[in-house]
Amino acid sequence: MREWEAEGVGAGIALCRVPLSVAPTYSNSLAKMLPSVVVLAGITLLIWWVARRKRASLTMDEYSDYCSTQIKNRKIFQQNFGSDIRAFKVRLSKLRDIWARVGTTRGISGHSHVGLLPFSNILVRHVIFGFEHLACYQSFLAWLAFRPGLEALLIMGKFVDNPANATIWKNREVDAKAYSQTFSGRALTSTSLPRSADFRQVLTRLNDEFMHPNPTFAYRDATTKSDSAGVLLEIQFFDTTPEVHEGHLLAYVNLLDLIVATSDTLVSGLCGSTGAVTTESYAVSERNRAIQLAQNGVATKVMEELGLWKL
């Protein structure tokens, strides 16, 4: 794996694998803040508990610093992961083409399945949203942004299983019990969508680890530092461990690869097979890389539980 450096970008940190200079970080003036002062510092939320300190002036444009770090990170990502960007674009295009068929082709039975298009559009949109956060080195936001798309895919499987489920979905506020029985928990799996049980498990993990401030969420990006002046509580805004970020990237693109394949199976069952030539699976082409990343336990967990890798 290529060597990483950390480049300071104003108040933020951009992870990179290209030779870049190290810019200055924050000065010790942060220690002079009054108790319970909260500063949004680009990548880090800093909370100092310091007794009997005098207030010091601190000039900082937090939002601009955060945005400039995102811009820097996108450029660095493009240099580091060009092949993954290309792999993502190929699969995104295929996903869009697959689902576009339900808007232009009647099913084998002669019925229209155009009602699936709003959900396939949600799927495609959130696939893009998620990858954009990966490109900014914000893995935790990638899964948060992607989650509605995965649920939309599972809902389409339920609609194809039984068109009457669409009425239950539409009347969610009228009959919440029927909705819960049809679209919650294990009920969200379907026979029409291959691997829907695996996708539902991923959805559950996203709910537990990226949607709600459960212990995993609360402590994942938090660190503390102590000295004679007090305690510093930090929460990161960007990825800080290169192997973990790359693990998220491989998990995301592999999951997308599986979604493309299973979507093609579902749509082919409705509209007939196109006989299109498939590309080599991402899991095959990147297996050696994934095995190397698996030396990191967190990256392994991410790839297996979110990306459905078999390592």
pLDDT digits (tens, 9 = 90+) for 12-23: 333 333 322 222
Count of C-beta atoms within a 10 Å radius of residue 3: 9
Please give the model's pTM, rounded to 2 decimal places: 0.82
**Top-confidence residue, 86 or 25:** 86
**Backbone torsions φ then ψ of 137, nearest 5 degrees:** 60, 45
- For 60, the 3-state DSSP assignment is coil
Q: For residue range 27-65, what is the model confidence (pLDDT) as tens digits?
A: 232 222 323 223 333 344 443 333 334 344 344 578 888
Distance CA 76, CA 191 (A): 42
CA distance linking residue 102 with residue 311, whole number of Å: 35
Contact predicate 56/37, CB 8 Å: no
Candidates 237, 230, 263, 253; CA nearest to 302 is 253
Q: What whole-number distance in Å separates Cα of residue 178 and Cα of residue 6? A: 51
Higher-pLDDT residue of 230 and 163 is: 163
Helix, strand, coil share (%) of the chain residues, nearest 5: 60, 10, 30
Q: In angstroms, what is the C-alpha Rg of the chain?
A: 23
Q: Which residue has the tokens 């811009």?
A: 71
* In the predicted structure, residue 263 carries a pLDDT above the cut 70: yes
- The whole-number pLDDT of residue 57 equals 39
Strand order, beta sheet including 230-235: 37-41, 44-49, 230-235, 222-227
Q: Which residue has the tokens 């939002």?
A: 63
Domain-wise residue ranges, the chain: 1-80, 82-214+241-305
* Mean pLDDT value of segment 105-111: 85
Q: What is the pLDDT of residue 226?
A: 86
CA distance 227 to 29: 14
Q: What is the pLDDT of residue 60?
A: 56
Q: What is the mean pLDDT of the chain?
A: 83
Q: What pLDDT is stored for residue 228 in this prediction?
A: 82
pLDDT digits (tens, 9 = 90+) for 284-299: 999 999 999 999 999 9
Instruction: Give the model's pLDDT for residue 26.
Output: 26
